[in-house]
C-alpha cells in the first residue's frame, strides 16, 4: 500500500492544469501576446519573466505556452510553442540548433553555421511554412554567463535584418532567475534594454498561506484522499515559506510521503516531514552540519553570506573574517582570534563543505580564498535555523 495515488504528478516535468496564485501573471502574459493572434506578422512581443528559485517561472511559461498554442489553433493561426532550457543546451548555438532539429528539420546540416546564420535559417523555415513561434528560453542566465549579452542582442533583433514588409514570426519569453537579472541588465545596451524593459513579469516569493493552497491542490492530484492531513500541509508550508519556494515544498511533501510508505503508515505525519527536511536539499547533508562546533557554524554562516549574491566563486579570508565578526555579534558570541579562525577553516575544509586555495592573479598580494561546495542559499538557511534554535 502507498499514500500515493499518482506520484508522477509531483515530477518536475509535469505541468498541472491550474496554477493557484499565478492567475494575474497568466492574464498578463495573455495580454502581452494577444496581438500575435489578432495581428499576425505585425508584432512579435518579447517578455521577461523573473523571480526567485521555485516561484513558478518554468511552470508558468509552460502552462501559458501550451494554452496559447491551442488558442492560436482555434483561431486558425499556425503557431508553435517551443520550450528550450538554455542551461541544458549549453550554448546559444545549441539552443537554436535543437529548436530547429527537434521541431522542424531533423536533418539540418550542422557544420559551418554561425548562430546568427542558424537563426536566419530558422526564420526561413518559418517563412516557408507560413508558421509562427512562441519561444520560451528558460534559465537564460546560464547562457549570458558564458556568452555575455550577444544571444539576447541577436534575439531581440531577428526581425530587423529582414525586409520591411516581412512578417514578424518569433515571439519570445525570456526567463531569468533572480538575483541574476540585475547583473544581466547591466550588460545590455540601451536600445535592447528599452525593447525589453517594459515587459517584465516578476514572480514574488510565495507566502506560507499561498504555499498551503498550492500544496493542497498538488496533493489532491498525487496522494490518496486524506493521506496528507491539514496539520502536515501547514507544517510543510511553514517550513518552505522562508524561501517562498514551491519546488522545496513539493519536494518535501514527496519525500515525506516516501518516508511514510517506508514505515507502512497510511498517513503522512508531521514527523515524516521533519525527517524529510533533512534530505530535501540534495546538495547539503544536514548531518554534516550538526557536528560542527558553535564557532565553526558561525564561520560557515559568514562564508555563505559572503558568497551569496556576489559574482565571485571565492571569498578572501579577510572578507570572511569581517563577516564572521558581524555574525558573531548577531548571535551574541565573542569572535575568536585570527589563529583560531585559521584552524576552523582547516577543519571545515576537511569536512568537504568548503575548499581553500591561494589567490593568483587579480588580487593584491597573496591571500587565502575560500569556496563552498554546497549552495550558499541552502547552507545559510540551514545554519541560521540551527543557530537561532540554540539561542532559544
Ligand X SMILES: Nc1ncnc2c1ncn2[C@@H]1O[C@H](COP(=O)(O)OP(=O)(O)OP(=O)(O)O)[C@@H](O)[C@H]1O
Q: Where along the sequence are the contacts to ligand X (CB under 6 A)? A: 12, 16, 19-22, 51, 53-59, 177, 214, 218, 246-247, 250
Q: Answer with the entry of Mg ion, ligand X, none that 177 interacts with (C-beta below 5 to 8 A by kind).
A: ligand X
Minimum CB–partner distance for residue 343 and Mg ion (Å) = 41
Nearest to ligand X of 214, 317 (CB atom): 214
Count of positions on this chain that bind Mg ion (CB under 5 A): 2
User: Counting every residue, how long is the chain?
Assistant: 392
* Residue 169, SS3 per DSSP: coil
Minimum CB–partner distance for residue 9 and ligand X (Å) = 9
CB-based contacts of 230, cutoff 8 Å, min separation 6: none
Query: How many whole angstroms from its chain centre is CA 388?
Result: 27
Torsion on CA atoms 191, 194, 197, 198, rounded to nearest 10: -150
Which residue's CB atom is positioned nearest to Mg ion? Answer: 58
Closest CA to 276 of 289, 290, 261, 292: 261
Q: Answer with the entry of Mg ion, ligand X, none that 51 interacts with (C-beta below 5 to 8 A by kind).
A: ligand X
Q: What is the maximal distance between C-alpha atoms in the chain?
A: 73
For residue 13, give the DSSP letter.
T
Nearest to ligand X of 162, 247 (CB atom): 247
Q: Answer with the entry of Mg ion, ligand X, none that 65 interacts with (C-beta below 5 to 8 A by kind).
A: none
Half-sphere exposure of 189 (CA within 13 A, CB side): 9
Q: How far apart are CA 279 and CA 301, in angstroms?
A: 20
Exposure string of 357-374, with b = 16+ CB inside 10 Å and e = fewer, is: eeeeeeeeeeebbbebeb
For the chain, count helices (H), then strands (E): 18, 8
Nearest to ligand X of 29, 315 (CB atom): 29
Minimum CB–partner distance for residue 249 and ligand X (Å) = 7
Nearest to ligand X of 175, 289 (CB atom): 175
Minimum CB–partner distance for residue 173 and ligand X (Å) = 12
Nearest to ligand X of 18, 357 (CB atom): 18
Is the preceding omega at residue 179 within 30 degrees of 0, hence cis?
yes
Residues of span 32-61 touching Mg ion by CB under 5 A:
57-58
Q: Answer with the entry of Mg ion, ligand X, none that 214 interacts with (C-beta below 5 to 8 A by kind).
A: ligand X
Q: Answer with the entry of Mg ion, ligand X, none that 95 interacts with (C-beta below 5 to 8 A by kind).
A: none
Kindly give the interhelix angle for 230-240 and 270-277, rounded to the nearest 10 degrees.
Answer: 30
Minimum CB–partner distance for residue 379 and ligand X (Å) = 17
Minimum CB–partner distance for residue 364 and ligand X (Å) = 36
Nearest to ligand X of 129, 209 (CB atom): 209
Nearest to ligand X of 53, 193 (CB atom): 53
The arrangement of strands across the sheet holding 354-358 comes to 315-316, 368-372, 354-358
C-alpha distance from residue 256 to each of 3, 18, 268 (Å):
10, 24, 7
* Residue 81, SS3 per DSSP: strand
Minimum CB–partner distance for residue 57 and Mg ion (Å) = 5
Q: Answer with the entry of ligand X, Mg ion, none that 79 interacts with (C-beta below 5 to 8 A by kind).
A: none
Q: Answer with the entry of ligand X, Mg ion, none that 19 interacts with (C-beta below 5 to 8 A by kind).
A: ligand X
Nearest to ligand X of 54, 335 (CB atom): 54
Q: Give the binding site for Mg ion (CB under 5 A).
A: 57-58
Amino acid at each position: 500500500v502507498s499514500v500515493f495515488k499518482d506520484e508522477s504528478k509531483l515530477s518536475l516535468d509535469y505541468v498541472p492544469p491550474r496554477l493557484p496564485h499565478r492567475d494575474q501573471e497568466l492574464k498578463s502574459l495573455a495580454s502581452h501576446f494577444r496581438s500575435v493572434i489578432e495581428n499576425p506578422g505585425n508584432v512579435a512581443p518579447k517578455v521577461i519573466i523573473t523571480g526567485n528559485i521555485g516561484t513558478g517561472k518554468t511552470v508558468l511559461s509552460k502552462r501559458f505556452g501550451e494554452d496559447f498554442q491551442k488558442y492560436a489553433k482555434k483561431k486558425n493561426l499556425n503557431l508553435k510553442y517551443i520550450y528550450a532550457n538554455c542551461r541544458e543546451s549549453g550554448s546559444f548555438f545549441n539552443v537554436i540548433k535543437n529548436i530547429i532539429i527537434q521541431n522542424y528539420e531533423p536533418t539540418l546540416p550542422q557544420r559551418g553555421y554561425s548562430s546568427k546564420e542558424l537563426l536566419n535559417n530558422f526564420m526561413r523555415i518559418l517563412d516557408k511554412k507560413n508558421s509562427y513561434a512562441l519561444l520560451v528560453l528558460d534559465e537564460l542566465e546560464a547562457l549570458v554567463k558564458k556568452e555575455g549579452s550577444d544571444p539576447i542582442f541577436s534575439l531581440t533583433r531577428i526581425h530587423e535584418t529582414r525586409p520591411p514588409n516581412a512578417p514578424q514570426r518569433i515571439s519570445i519569453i525570456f526567463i531569468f532567475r533572480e538575483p541574476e537579472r540585475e547583473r544581466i541588465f547591466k550588460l545590455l545596451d540601451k536600445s535592447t534594454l528599452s525593447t525589453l524593459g517594459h515587459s517584465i513579469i516578476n514572480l514574488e516569493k510565495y507566502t506560507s498561506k499561498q504555499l498551503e493552497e498550492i500544496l493542497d491542490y498538488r496533493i489532491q492530484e498525487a496522494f490518496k484522499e486524506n493521506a496528507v492531513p491539514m496539520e502536515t500541509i501547514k507544517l510543510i508550508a511553514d517550513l518552505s515559506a522562508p524561501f517562498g519556494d514551491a519546488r522545496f515544498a513539493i519536494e518535501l511533501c514527496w519525500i515525506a510521503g516516501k518516508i511514510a510508505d517506508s514505515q507502512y503508515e497510511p498517513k503522512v505525519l508531521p514527523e515524516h516531514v521533519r525527517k524529510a527536511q533533512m534530505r530535501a536539499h540534495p546538495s547539503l547533508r544536514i548531518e554534516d552540519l550538526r557536528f560542527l562546533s558553535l564557532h565553526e557554524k558561525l564561520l560557515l554562516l559568514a562564508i555563505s553570506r559572503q558568497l551569496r549574491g556576489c559574482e565571485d566563486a571565492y571569498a578572501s579570508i579577510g572578507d570572511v573574517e569581517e563577516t564572521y565578526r558581524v555574525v558573531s555579534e548577531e548571535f551574541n558570541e565573542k569572535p575568536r582570534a585570527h589563529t583560531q579562525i585559521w584552524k576552523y577553516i582547516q577543519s571545515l575544509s576537511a569536512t568537504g563543505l568548503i575548499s581553500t586555495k591561494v589567490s593568483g592573479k587579480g588580487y593584491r598580494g597573496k591571500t587565502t580564498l575560500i569556496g563552498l561546495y554546497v549552495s550558499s542559499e541552502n547552507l545559510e538557511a540551514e545554519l541560521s535555523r540551527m543557530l537561532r534554535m540554540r539561542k532559544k
